[in-house]
């Protein structure tokens, strides 16, 4: 940490020595009596930062009827959980939820606050940051600690995604960051792990200027790309919506779902929810099959966690070939139907059919 | 209803190329455009004005060439535009941007007339943070809501909005004044009318404010006023991959090569097992 010269800083910022701030917080969202997987994932980088700083990892759990979930947060790696179980938090409003976090942060002075980049997280986190007059870094892909200054480095790709920027907030605490779901794994659950649960109260009133009128769960007809173990993704090279249908058939045969590049989404062939990449979803399938996708840095950022990438592209110079495990040079209009045909045989004939194909 | 729409002037990131020699970005000569995700917010504002009357004011913190973008938005039908521009605002992160924008909105309220609603786009194509909306709401101490796909007036003092989360569709009534962030592609922006664009130009409906007008502490704006600092940049580490490239004789050959990999590669074998069963 640099020496503070309050005269040089914006007077909007409270000039407080950063040494007063301790511990790494992860705001843990709960919905319908369950912890959100995306927030559990944030305990992974949270634990790593806390260990580097030799500070505690603290889960912050807000809601109504959430107390019984506190022990779970500890089993996933927290040392302590601060719980606010309050009827006024039974309906989520960004300002109510955000203000509750702000109040707790003013009392406890954490040095770091991590928030999962779910839709809600992305909505309330910048409110928390601004209300604390602190900086915030969105969509981090990694974190580190500067050993000399003890500043946390919030690492994220700027728009080109070929670089990683190391961002810090040397004069402000807490240091706040979000990460998209699936960028980090859920930590291992340790049944025997013990920790402290602190019940807290907050002053915040009910949101009186905004009211939830209705809420309904939308049954997503097709499994989302986030959870799929096989994804067949189409890019601009598929040339139209019919191409997407062909990929859907292939995905079905492989027991997976379909994804898309941004160009395929922009062309209207695929839903935004299916977009993979920096401004879409981060995915972690066993098999990612990229069809008619060139391999832009922004797209590939979303598939870093894929175990295997297979590409089909007509252009022998396509940059995806140097970023995939197995690539076939060819026109997908020929290769994909052939693949569908063989897989149909295998679906029908099982191992025997598979052997025949391999031996021929 | 007086509606302010925040619009950013951004480099056309689709036109940014990577230098194959050095692997660095070529920004030179990259044209700037109005952030495409802000246009649905402009459209939403114009539709609200058509229903309840009032005025649509576009505001942008940007260098002077952004006037071109503001002319386009005036051509869509916005009533006026405020360009907030000053060298001291350069290099701002989202905190410092939201500070200047919210002070500009307060100045509009004080000098032009009470602002009832501030609309923003979902995110900018050059930084994609979706921070500015919540930060402005925090400065103004107004209610706010993200991911809004439709917005309807409800008398003079409220709007009804629909929005989508990962697994829920929700409907809210939000009292004014408020900040609302419009979802990507929520509304198709109307085309620019050359006539209205020209008229706006003739009537000089773009106001420019510098820090001489806003009188903000220079320690709170631009690079100096940004709590976040880029400490360094490094190349994105490469993920190790097998990089086997196959040129098949024919499509069937291609299909079989892929299937063979799905048996030989221990990881992919799991997927094949899912199809033929565990006896594989
Ligand atoms: C800030 C920012 C964020 C972005 N975020 C994302 C993101 O989240 N996700 C994303 O995907 N992109 C993103 N992009 C866009 C990205 O830069 C690329 O433009 C995009 O990924 C390209 O999509 P594509 O590969 O489908 O299209 P193209 O680059 O046009 O590639 C099409 C490919 O199809 C091949 N092809 C053509 N015909 C056939 C055929 N018959 N058979 C087989 N192959 C064929 C071609 O050889 C070519 O390689 C972002 C860009 C920016 C600036
Ligand atoms: N400099 C700016 N001037 C006006 N509006 C802005 C500016 N920067 C961001 N915005 C608005 O805030 C939204 C979110 O921006 P961002 O946080 O950069 O993703 C954008 O879609 C714009 O509506």
| Residue range(s) in chain B whose domain bears CATH number 3.40.50.620 | 2-220
> How far apart (Å, rounded) are the C-alpha atoms in residues A227 and A256?
10
Higher pLDDT, B59 or B29: B59
Asked whether residue A214 is domain-assigned, the answer is: no
pLDDT for A1: 45
Q: What is the DSSP letter of B119?
A: E
Q: Which ligand is nearest to the CA of B6?
A: 2
A349 with A244, same domain: the answer is yes
Residues of chain A with pLDDT under 50: 1
Tell me: do A99 and A143 sit in the same domain: yes
Count of domains in chain A? Answer: 2
What is the position in ligand 1's atom list of the atom closest to the CA of A159?
1
pLDDT at B104 over 50: yes
* ipTM metric: 0.90
Which three-class secondary structure state does DSSP give residue B178? strand
Q: Mean pLDDT across the stretch B9-22?
A: 76
Q: Which domain, by its residues, includes A344? A: 220-359
The string of pLDDT tens digits covering residues A128-187 is 999 999 999 999 999 999 999 999 999 998 877 778 899 999 989 999 999 999 899 999
Q: Which residues contact A117 (CB under 8 A, 6 or more apart)?
A: A38, A125, A138, A139, A178, A179, A180, A181
A118 with A226, same domain?
A: no
The pocket around ligand 1, CB under 6 angstroms, is made up of: A 159, 235-237, 261-264, 275-280, 292-294, 296, 298-299, 302, 312-315, 318, 331-333; B 13, 125, 128
Nearest CA to A57 out of A40, A41, A81, A34 is that of A81
Same domain, A188 and A294: no
- Distance, CA of A88 to CA of A205 (rounded, Å): 7
What integer pLDDT is reported at residue A6 of this predicted model?
85
Structural domain contains residue A66: yes
8 Å CB contact between B89 and B61: yes
pLDDT in tens, B166-199: 999 999 999 999 999 999 999 999 999 999 999 9
C-alpha A262 to ligand 1 mean position (Å): 7
pLDDT of residue B156: 85
- Pairwise CB contact (< 8 Å): A210 & B174: yes
- CA angle, corner A34, sides to A31 and A35, nearest 5? 90
CA of A257, closest CA in chain B: separation in Å? 13
Rounded to the nearest 5 degrees, what angle is found at the Cα of A15, between the Cα atoms of A11 and A20? 160
The confidence band for B20, taking pLDDT boundaries of 50, 70 and 90, is low
Task: Assign 3-class secondary structure to chain A.
Answer: CCCCCHHHCCCCCCCCCHHHCCCEEEEECEECCEECHHHHHHHHHHHHHHHHHCCCEEEEEEECCCHHHHHHHHHCCCCEEEEEECHHHCCCCHHHHHHHHHHHHHHHCCCEEEEECCHHHHHHHHHHHHHCCCCEECCCCEEEECCCCCCEEEEECCCCCCEEEEEECCCCCCEEEEECCCCCCCCCCCCCCCCEEEECCCCCCCCCCEEEEEEEECCCCCCCCCCCCEEEEECHHHCCHHHHHHHHHHHHHCCCEEEECHHHHHCCCCCHHHEECCCCECCCCCEEEEECCCCCHHHHHCCCCCCEEEEEECCCCCHHHHCCCEEEECCHHHHHHHHHHHHHHHHHHHHHHHHHHHHC
Q: What is the pLDDT of residues B234-243, one digit of tens each?
A: 888 889 999 9
A272 assigned to some structural domain: yes
Kind and range of the H or E run holding B25:
strand B25-26
Atom number, ligand 2, closest to the C-alpha of residue B62: 1
Domain edge (last residue) among A139, A167, A199: A199
The 10 Å CB-count burial string (b at 16+, else e) for A46-70 is bbbbbebbebbbbbbbbbeebeebb
Is B64 exposed, middle or buried, given 0-12, 13-18 or 19+ CB atoms closer than 10 A?
exposed
Summarize the confidence of residues B88-96 as an average pLDDT: 96
Q: In the structure encoding, which two tokens stand for residue B93, read together?
A: 């992160």
> At A313, phi and psi to the nearest 5?
-150, 140
- Mean pLDDT calculated for residue range B92-111: 98
CA distance B17 to B28: 10
Residue A6 lies in a domain: no
Question: Hey, are the CB atoms on B244 and A170 less than 8 Å from each other?
Answer: no
Looking at the structure, tell me whether residues A282 and A350 fall in a common domain. Answer: yes
Lowest mean pLDDT among A63-77, B80-94, B223-237: B223-237
Domain boundary among A136, A166, A199: A199
Q: A67 and A152 in one domain?
A: yes
CATH 2.102.10.10 fits B2-220, yes or no: no
Domain boundary among A146, A170, A199: A199
Inside any domain, residue A212: no
Q: Do β-strands B17-18 and B25-26 pair in parallel, antiparallel, or remain unpaired?
A: antiparallel
- Answer yes or no: are the C-beta atoms of A111 and A53 closer than 8 Å: yes
Give residues (CB < 6 A) around ligand 2. Answer: B 6-8, 35, 37-38, 59-62, 94, 97, 101, 120-121, 123-124, 127-133
- Domain identity same for A135 and A251: no
d(CA A90, CA A8): 43
Same-domain status, A195 and A240: no
Query: Least CA distance to A329: which residue of chain B?
Result: B247
The secondary structure of B205-252 as a DSSP string is: -EEEE-HHHH---GGGSTTTT-S-EEEEEEEPPPPP---EEE--SSHH
- Domain identity same for A169 and A275: no
The single-letter DSSP state of residue B131 is -
**What whole-number percentage of chain B has pLDDT above 70?**
96
pLDDT of residue A235: 98
B259:A343 CB<8 A: yes
Are A62 and A96 a contacting pair, CB within 8 Å? Answer: no
Note the pLDDT of residue B143.
Answer: 97
Integer Cα distance of B48 and B150 in angstroms: 11
Residues A244 and A335 in one domain: yes
Q: A interface mutation test: which of B131, B145, B230 has the most A CBs within 10 A?
A: B131
Looking at the structure, tell me whether residues A234 and A179 fall in a common domain.
Answer: no
CATH number at residue A335: 3.40.50.1220
What is the biggest distance separating any 2 CA atoms in chain B, rounded to whole angstroms?
78
State the CATH number of the domain containing residue A139.
3.40.50.620
pLDDT value at position B17? Answer: 72
A226 plus A184 within the same structural domain = no
């Amino acid at each position: 940490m640099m020496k503070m010269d309050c005269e040089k800083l914006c007077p909007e910022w409270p000039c407080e020595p950063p040494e007063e701030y301790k511990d790494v917080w992860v705001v843990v969202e709960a919905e319908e009596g369950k912890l959100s997987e995306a927030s559990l994932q944030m305990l992974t980088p949270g634990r790593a930062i806390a260990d580097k700083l030799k500070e505690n990892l603290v889960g912050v759990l807000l809601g109504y009827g959430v107390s019984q979930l506190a022990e779970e947060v500890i089993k996933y790696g927290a040392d302590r959980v601060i719980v606010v179980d309050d009827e006024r938090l039974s309906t989520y409003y960004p300002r109510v939820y955000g203000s509750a976090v702000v109040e707790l942060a003013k009392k406890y002075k954490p040095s770091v606050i991590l928030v999962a980049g779910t839709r809600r997280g992305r909505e309330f986190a910048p409110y928390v940051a601004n209300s604390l007059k602190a900086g915030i870094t969105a969509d981090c892909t990694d974190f580190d600690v500067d050993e000399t200054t003890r500043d946390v480095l919030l690492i994220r790709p700027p728009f080109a995604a070929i670089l990683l920027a190391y961002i810090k907030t040397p004069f402000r605490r807490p240091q706040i960051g979000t990460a998209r779901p699936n960028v980090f794994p859920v930590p291992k659950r340790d049944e025997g792990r013990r920790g402290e649960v602190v019940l807290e109260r907050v002053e915040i009133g009910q949101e009186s200027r905004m009211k939830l009128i209705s809420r309904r769960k939308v049954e997503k007809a097709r499994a989302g790309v986030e959870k799929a173990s096989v994804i067949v993704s189409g890019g601009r090279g598929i040339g139209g919506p019919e191409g997407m249908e062909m990929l859907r058939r292939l995905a079905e045969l492989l027991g997976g779902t379909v994804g898309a590049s941004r160009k395929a989404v922009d062309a209207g062939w695929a839903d935004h929810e299916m977009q993979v990449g920096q401004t879409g979803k981060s995915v972690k399938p066993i098999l990612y099959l990229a069809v008619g996708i060139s391999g832009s840095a922004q797209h590939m950022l979303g598939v870093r966690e894929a175990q295997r990438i297979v590409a089909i592209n007509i252009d022998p110079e396509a940059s995806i070939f140097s970023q995939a495990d197995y690539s076939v040079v060819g026109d997908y209009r020929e290769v994909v139907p052939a693949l569908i045909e063989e897989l149909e045989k295998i679906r029908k004939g099982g191992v025997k059919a598979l052997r025949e194909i391999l031996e021929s | 209803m007086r509606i302010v729409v925040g619009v950013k002037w951004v480099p056309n990131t689709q036109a940014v190329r990577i230098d194959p020699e050095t692997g660095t970005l070529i920004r030179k000569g990259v044209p700037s455009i109005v952030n495409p995700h802000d246009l649905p917010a402009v459209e939403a504002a114009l539709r609200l004005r058509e229903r309840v009357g009032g005025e649509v004011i576009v505001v942008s913190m940007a260098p002077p060439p952004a006037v071109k973008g503001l002319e386009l938005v005036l051509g869509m039908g916005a009533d006026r535009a405020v360009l907030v521009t000053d060298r001291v605002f350069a290099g701002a992160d989202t905190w410092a941007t939201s500070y200047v924008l919210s002070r500009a909105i307060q100045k509009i309220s004080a000098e032009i007339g009470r602002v009832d609603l501030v609309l923003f786009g979902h995110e900018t194509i050059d930084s994609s943070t979706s921070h500015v909306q919540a930060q402005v709401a925090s400065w103004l101490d107004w209610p706010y809501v993200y991911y809004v796909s439709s917005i309807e007036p409800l008398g003079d003092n409220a709007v009804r909005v629909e929005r989508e989360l990962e697994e829920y569709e929700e409907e809210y009534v939000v009292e004014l004044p408020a900040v609302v962030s419009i979802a990507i592609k929520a509304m198709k922006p109307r085309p620019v009318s050359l006539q209205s664009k020209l008229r706006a130009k003739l009537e000089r409906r773009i106001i420019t404010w510098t820090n001489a007008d806003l009188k903000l502490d220079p320690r709170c704006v631009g690079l100096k006023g940004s709590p976040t600092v880029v400490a360094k940049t490094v190349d994105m580490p490469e993920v190790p991959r097998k990089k086997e490239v196959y040129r098949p004789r024919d499509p069937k050959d291609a299909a079989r090569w892929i299937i063979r990999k799905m048996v030989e590669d221990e990881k992919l074998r799991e997927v094949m097992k899912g199809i033929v069963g565990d006896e594989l």
